[in-house]
Structure 1
């Protein structure tokens, strides 16, 4: 491997790295993991003030043999700003909102151009293959008309990686051992539909006062954050921890009993998978990105509305034995299908393929 990748650097381009969001956590995880396997990798955030100047200079000096972008819309904007990138191999990982929100939006033609330009398109879930191909049924690569979109698409599920941080106890967060704690690891964004969790668990908490909701995530959208904080006002059973350093997530997630994800759509619910790996059953909205992760009623529940979320929550609150069994099955699922080793293996194969071509 070393002979293949020697002196061939890779650049990872992430839209964000300041807040702990899916893109920032995923790219940081891959940077560390793939570097440990011998790859030479830099990471560039589009939040960096001089990112365009840095990238133009790096390309002029032929610093990178491969560029790996995250999020189709943001990476498409980079391609438009720096067209000389098209002269080297490009990989794109789609991450969620680019598939669900941007494919049919005003940036549709730019995303098509991005898909045509890159050599590989990584998705987290097989379901996304058909979604993308349905949007672009007449896809044709300008340089290789025979190359289909299906040939570019590859599924690489995200790997779970949690750093063992300092142990915490429930008392530090104002929680007691007899309470049933629902975990909602999510930044405050409209697409995360956090009010569904609060409204649903309010109905559960009326009947089961031991219920608590722990929300952890950056305040990303100002207006939506204000709305959620107003909704929480007076609800002493809802605790908002704001942004938790990822190095501390394991110790916080261990304190909960059930993890929930209420998004309108997802790329793949990284926070939910992390909690599941620690033996927490889940309640997930039945939307693309969440679907086909679990089996209904085995590792948790899929829900489509507030009534279904209330019903699923009550089952898990009332039956601690079933809650434990579902949690154990959730841990087994993540250990078999969402491991860091599997993720790094898959990206390593792609990196080697293109770096070998660059060497030749």
Structure 2
């Protein structure tokens, strides 16, 4: 089949990585997958023209509202993959919620990353019972790359001479839902007590206005550095060299950065929200915090307790291996495509 696949494709973001992986799953069995950025469309009519021009026989959208609304009313069968914002945020917006309910009526199937996401969707749209499937995000094999850690440190203002250096990495696009400023003040206070700890916020500038706010705050915060996006191969290398990966989002679907850190055997500290709690089991596969002060307490504990660090990285790696199989994800999407034939 020729399949149109709509997703938000900002470079080096979780959505873009997920969409590329799913496209590969579909093309592996002979489908032609035409992956397009929803940000490039202003109306459904533009998508209709694309469907005709590309002779698409079916469609898929990542994110029920941002992608699915362009497929509503189209004359080809389609499926939906829930994002995080649609279920955690847009569902509470009455107009968007009504649109999403209609899209689900038309969709042949929908995919949720977790059981809790499925339950939230069914609470709002009970008519979708029987067409929502749960499939955890898979984690692809992460390649080893040649990477100069010292060069990376030189590009920051981190004191490389500090004894026992500990770098906490917060990977996110600069937008409010990711809440990159949540921990800044508390972490900066900790850094003043212990100058060997640093937090690096790393990711693309998604929201220009909010980005300026982040830059201004970080500039005044000791021990916190801000860096732009980088290719995924280099990012994986940075993750492997840092002490821990942090997630401070207000809401998440399923964080690719958290899963990849687990796979790379790097400790994870994540804000205690449903999307994170679905994949991080406190003190077993990572650490969950509910406020900035608790984050600092847990981070200090992790720094000073090598046994805890070893335990959570070992169990985190095993969890990803068991529950986020790339092969299982591939099988699921390849099978679901039969519902579009």
TM-score (norm 2): 0.90
Distance 1:336 1:101 in 2: 30
1:290 is matched with 276
Is the partner of 2:130 in helix, strand or coil? helix
CA distance in 2, matches of 1:193, 1:159: 25
- Residue 339 (structure 2) aligns with: 354
User: Cα deviation per residue 1:210-235 (whole Å; 9 max; x = unaligned)?
Assistant: 11112211011112111111111144
Partner of 2:119: 130
Equivalent of residue 77 in structure 2, options 89, 107, 118? 89
Q: Would you say 1:12 and 2:1 are equivalent positions?
A: no
Alignment RMSD: 2.2
Inter-partner Cα distance in structure 2 for 1:59 and 1:233: 47
Name the SS for the 1:74 alignment partner: coil
User: Which shifted more, 230-239 or 256-265?
Assistant: 230-239
On the 8 A contact 1:129/1:150 being kept in 2, the answer is no
Quote the residue 2:137 is aligned against.
158
**How big is the shift at 1:306?**
1.4
Matches within 5 A, 1:233-252: 233-235=219-221, 237-252=223-238
The aligned counterpart of 1:101 is: 89
Q: CA separation of 1:54/1:110 partners in 2, compared to 1, >3 Å: closer, same or farther?
A: closer
TM-score under structure 1 normalisation? 0.86
Aligned 8 A contact 2:25 2:333 in 1: no
Note the 1:316-331 alignment, pairs <5 A. Answer: 316-331=302-317
Aligned to 1:5: none
CA distance in 1, matches of 2:200, 2:144: 19
CA distance in 1, matches of 2:201, 2:148: 16
2-structure distance, mates of 1:32, 1:132: 27
Q: What corresponds to 1:261 in structure 2?
A: 247
Q: 1:33 touches 1:344 (CA, 8 Å); kept in 2?
A: yes
Could you tell me how far apart the structure 2 residues matched to 1:159 and 1:118 are? 23
SS in 1 for 2:145: coil
Unmatched tracts of structure 1, length 5 or more: 1-7, 141-148
The alignment partner of 2:249 has SS state of coil
